[in-house]
Amino acid sequence: MAESIKDKVAIIGMGCCKFGENWWWDAEDMLIESTKEAFADAGVEPKDIQAAWLGTTGGFSGQLLARPLKLQYIPIVRVENACATATDAFRNACYAVAAGVYDMVLAAGVDKLKDSGISGLGSDSLLPGGTGTATGTSAPGSFALAGTRYAHTYGMSFAELKHMLAQIDVKNHHNGSLNPKAHFQREITVEQAVNAPMIAWPLGLFDCCGVSDGSAAAIITTPEIAKKLKPKGDYIMVAGLAISCGAGQGQTQNKYDFVHFQEDVTAGEWAYREAGITDPFKEIDLAEVHDCFSITETIIYEDMKWAPKGGAKERIYAGAYTLEGELPVNPDGGLKCFGHPIGASGLRMIYEVWLQMLGRAGKRQLKKADIGLTHNLGGAPGSFTCAVAVFRKPD
Amino acid sequence: MAGITSFGAYVPLFRVGRETRNWGMPIEKAIASHDEDSLTMAVAAALDCLADMDRKSVDALYVATTTSPYIEHQLAAIAGAAMDLRADILTEDVSNTLRAGTTALRSALNFAAAEPGRKALVTTADCRMGTPRGGFDQTSGDGAAAIMVSDQNVAVEVDGVYSLADPMLDTWRAEGDAMVRSWEDRFILDEGYRRIMSESIRGALGKWNMTAKDFSKVAYYAPEPREHGRVAAEFGFDRSQVQDPLFGRSGSSGTAHALQVLICALEEAKAGDRILFVGYGDGADIFNLRVTDKIESLRNRHGMKGYLESKRLMVDFNQYLRWRQLIGAESARRPASVGPSVSALWRERSDVLPMYGTRCKACGYPQYPSQRVCTNCFTWDQMEPYRFSDKKGTIYTFTKDSLAGGAIEPPSIVTVVDFEGGGRAMLGMTDRVPEEVDLSWIGKKVDLTFRKISFAGGVHNYFWKCMPERFPS
């Protein structure tokens, strides 16, 4: 009989290096940075780690983590699950502890994308070895298809869509300006966002997150050990973990509407069920979501039941998702201000939940941070991999 | 007796003309898009010619051009696959001469004569280049034409054929030449076109014991308008007999030109008309044609009439220069193009060239690309092949991607197309003006067109794109 993950694992330490164009750091350097902070935070040493999960799209096997940290012959799983990689690495580490196989494990994520020298992610078409005839589109292009259809579906003009999306761009930039670890730490205006050069119509420069380098890490253990090591209660509990993989339904079926991502819905519902959340918009105090593009964040609000279908606009303009709103989304600045080193983003999201719950979020600190959610999404409209995690403060 | 049973044509959408910036001349001509070449245009003309005929009934395919993208690899084999013809047919590339189209027609007629009841399809296209805005550039254009030949249901009888060979170097290209070479103007026209047309037509008329008065129309290749007029004058054809040679409309289209002019004539012809038809290049091919009442069954082809009228004026001639990579353009830094995997291309050849997907026999749902497990009802291995390339579509959504566009023609417009009859695919959109594509295009009807996706690793990679309907239905 399948059981819930709720309250079976705890995070006792986290680390996150500065994200950005880290020309002076390679992947191994960034892993040292993020794990060093995590070990110090947890009060635990590398030799205490029994197994590790590494999320990354580069490097060679789990050895990418073992080599810089000098982890000695321990089990290391290399995880890749599109842009949900980091959350999936974290998730699998949690299951190993919940299964009672290990007591103390490390989940780390890293990606070094800026050495490629190209704009945007990867290749326009199929993976190497393909026919080269599949219609090439960039990541912004794939999500732009949802932007176009969103405007059409809800009767918005191009200008109205741009103005709505700009609210999200401005919100995330504001939050990022309060975050010393973000790549971009400056405010922008709605006019700047609306008038920015087009990347993939209708998405402009500020609607798109950048490509960047970064690493984040979490040390995971049982609730009993967490209580013993952190008697003051400065640790957090995992309340729900979910992942949902699409099968290209939306790319082959006429009925897919391009204004919702079913994988969000499925993963969200699973995580809510595990965590015992029945009114997400009310119960969740903060969320870190996958704002690779502003239209993505818009649709996530609806998929995650934080707005009715087609109703995101109203809540956006009411400020529901700002730091002062009912459900602050991306209080750390999101992918917009951090960029998206694929293997690390999900863990960077958990890091913000961690800081908020322990009262360490500085200028971004929310008054209430008892229940937090992270949402991590990879793929393209019509076929995604979505991972959702829910966290809560220990009793 | 073998004769012409169908025809088709293709003229690229874009034209340069008086209002085109940086062209500066009141001369109009047709320009193949950056994703077109002789093969794609030949396929377009052939599909027009095939109309709603059973594709599996074609027994021979001839592809004629002087601008083949390959020097060793048969275009007719690729075209046959793209058009979903049978594999067990005669396929032949005819090249290296401006009269390759008419020479191929002679071969097709011989085939049909030797194989009673069988059908041969000739398609010809050219995409030649000269110095931008120069003399050759002003008179030439890109385009294609196709003719079906058989001994059944003949719409145009072939009462005589005559050919003359002449190793005249008037215009030519050697391997590696991007642009057409020619000798001095006066010489090549005096001793080339004018002399050879004169000798060959004289020879043909003499052999058949006929004069200009015996013909309703004369349709023939010409490199430029004045010389075209001289030929008609020499043999006493009056204005009403001379088929317009398309200068100032689509231009002289190399191997396709003579056939395009003939098709224009056939589109106005009625039963009983006799047409003198001449293809020129390294000599000439001459045909004595007589139209039958079956010509009436060919009135629904788009042909030259349809394709000439369906046009967009290029705003700036620099676009043509970018398309032919005569000037560069800066674009986003993207991964370098690598050639496709040839084994993957072979394995996916049915999904790629004729764009076959599958339809589930359990629930009837068409899906692209081909699947073994149905996307709709999840049944395993109950699939039948289902062709998408000839289906109409509508635009479900799109983006104008400035990142993926590449240097030649950013932005790249990526479209989600819903097909009539079911099924969906994500395809590039071509033959459009990006500034015009907006939210109102959702729901717009599109057709599919066979185009070149890329050239990398020595492979010309072909697939299908969508385009706004050339002929709104």
Residue B30's pLDDT band (cuts 50, 70, 90) = very high
Strand locations in A296-353 (E): none
pLDDT score at B63: 98
pLDDT score at A123: 52
pLDDT digits (tens, 9 = 90+) for B152-204: 999 999 999 999 999 999 999 999 999 999 999 899 999 999 999 999 999 99
Cα–Cα distance, B237 to B228 (Å, whole number): 12
pLDDT score at A130: 80
A151 vs B333: CB contact, 8 Å cut-off? no
Residue of B nearest to A122 (CA): B335
Cα–Cα distance, B31 to B259 (Å, whole number): 18
Catalytic option among A173, A183, A260, A340: A340
pLDDT average, residue stretch B238-259: 97
Residues of chain A neighbouring B426 (CB-CB closer than 8 A): 135, 137, 145, 251
pLDDT digits (tens, 9 = 90+) for A66-122: 999 999 999 999 999 999 999 999 999 999 999 999 999 999 999 999 998 887 776
Tell me the pLDDT of chain B averaged across its residues: 96
pLDDT digits (tens, 9 = 90+) for B403-448: 876 657 889 999 999 999 999 999 999 999 999 999 999 999 999 9
Of B339, B348, B404, which is closest to A138 when you measure between CB atoms? B404
Residue of A nearest to B339 (CA): A132
What is the token pair recorded at B415?
């479209």
A252 vs B402: CB contact, 8 Å cut-off? no
Cα–Cα distance, B207 to B329 (Å, whole number): 56
ipTM above 0.90, yes or no: yes
B399 vs A151: CB contact, 8 Å cut-off? no
Which domains occur in chain B, in start order? 3-323 (3.40.47.10), 342-468 (no CATH)
* AA identity, residue A212: S
pLDDT score at B356: 98
pLDDT average, residue stretch B29-42: 98
Residue A340 annotated in active site: yes
pLDDT score at A125: 44
Mode of pairing for the β-strands spanning B412-419 and B424-429: antiparallel
Among B358, B371, B416, the strongest candidate for a mutation testing the A interface, having the largest count of A CBs within 10 A, is B416
A133 vs B348: CB contact, 8 Å cut-off? yes
Of B333, B335, B399, which is closest to A201 when you measure between CB atoms? B399
pLDDT score at A127: 43
Determine the distance in angstroms separating the CA of B446 from the nearest CA of chain A, rounded to an integer: 16
Residue B23's pLDDT band (cuts 50, 70, 90) = very high
How many Cα atoms within 13 Å fall on the side-chain side of residue B341?
12
Place of tokens 């874009």: B14
Cα–Cα distance, B248 to A306 (Å, whole number): 62
B388 CB near a chain A CB, below 8 Å?
no
Phi, psi of A144 (to 5 degrees): -60, -30
pLDDT digits (tens, 9 = 90+) for B282-326: 999 999 999 999 999 999 999 999 999 999 999 999 999 999 999
Bridge-partner residues for B84, per DSSP?
none
pLDDT average, residue stretch B63-74: 97
pLDDT digits (tens, 9 = 90+) for A21-48: 999 999 999 999 999 999 999 999 999 9
Q: For chain A, what percentages of helix, strand and coil (3-state, to nearest 5) are there?
A: 40, 20, 40
pLDDT score at A118: 80
**Three-class SS state of A293:** strand
pLDDT score at A126: 38
Tell me the pLDDT of chain A averaged across its residues: 95
pLDDT digits (tens, 9 = 90+) for A198-210: 999 999 999 999 9
Of B333, B414, B423, which is closest to A141 when you measure between CB atoms? B414
Residue A209 annotated in active site: no
pLDDT average, residue stretch B82-95: 98
Q: What is the DSSP string of B363-394?
A: T--EESS--SB-TTT--BS-EEEEE-TT--EE
* AA identity, residue B103: T
Q: Fold for domain A10-115+213-229?
A: Peroxisomal Thiolase; Chain A, domain 1 (3.40.47)
Residue of A nearest to B342 (CA): A131
R_g of chain B, CA atoms, integer Å: 23
Residues of chain B neighbouring A248 (CB-CB closer than 8 A): 375
Task: Please give the interface size between A and B, counted as residue pairs whose CB atoms are below 8 Å apart.
Answer: 147
**pLDDT of A146 strictly over 80:** yes
In 10 A of CB B443, how many CB atoms?
Answer: 10
Catalytic option among A16, A17, A83, A337: A83
User: Which CATH number does A139-207+238-392 carry?
Assistant: 3.40.47.10
Q: Which of A:170-229 have CB within 8 Å of B?
A: 197-203
Cα–Cα distance, B418 to A3 (Å, whole number): 42
Residue B305's H or E segment, with its range, is helix B303-309
pTM of the model: 0.94
SS (H, E, C) A110-160: EECCHHHCCCCCCCCCCCCCCCCCCCCCCHHHHHHHHHHHHHHHCCCCHHH
Residues contacting B221, CB < 8 A, separation 6+: B98, B99, B252, B257, B258, B261, B278, B279, B280, B281
In terms of Cβ atoms closer than 10 Å to its own Cβ (0-12, 13-18, 19+), residue A111 is: buried
pLDDT digits (tens, 9 = 90+) for B113-153: 999 999 999 999 999 999 999 999 999 999 999 999 999 99
Residue of A nearest to B421 (CA): A254
The percentage of chain B sitting over the pLDDT mark of 90, rounded to a whole number, equals 93
pLDDT average, residue stretch B457-472: 96
B400 vs A198: CB contact, 8 Å cut-off? yes
pLDDT average, residue stretch B393-398: 98
Determine the distance in angstroms separating the CA of A254 from the nearest CA of chain B, rounded to an integer: 6
Angle between helices A345-357 and A85-98 in degrees, nearest 10? 60
Residues of chain A neighbouring B403 (CB-CB closer than 8 A): 119-120, 138, 140-141, 199-200
**Three-class SS state of B341:** coil
B393 CB near a chain A CB, below 8 Å?
no
B424 vs A201: CB contact, 8 Å cut-off? no
Cα–Cα distance, A352 to A365 (Å, whole number): 10
Q: Where are the alpha helices (DSSP H) in B100-242?
A: 100-114, 135-139, 185-187, 195-208, 225-234
Give the start-to-end residue ranges of the domains of chain A.
Answer: 10-115+213-229, 139-207+238-392
Residues contacting A342, CB < 8 A, separation 6+: A56, A57, A82, A83, A85, A86, A111, A113, A121, A378
Determine contact, residues B223/B279, Cβ cutoff 8 Å.
no
Residue B67's pLDDT band (cuts 50, 70, 90) = very high
pLDDT digits (tens, 9 = 90+) for A248-291: 999 999 999 999 999 999 999 999 999 999 999 999 999 999 99
Place of tokens 């992610």: A121
Residue of B nearest to A121 (CA): B334
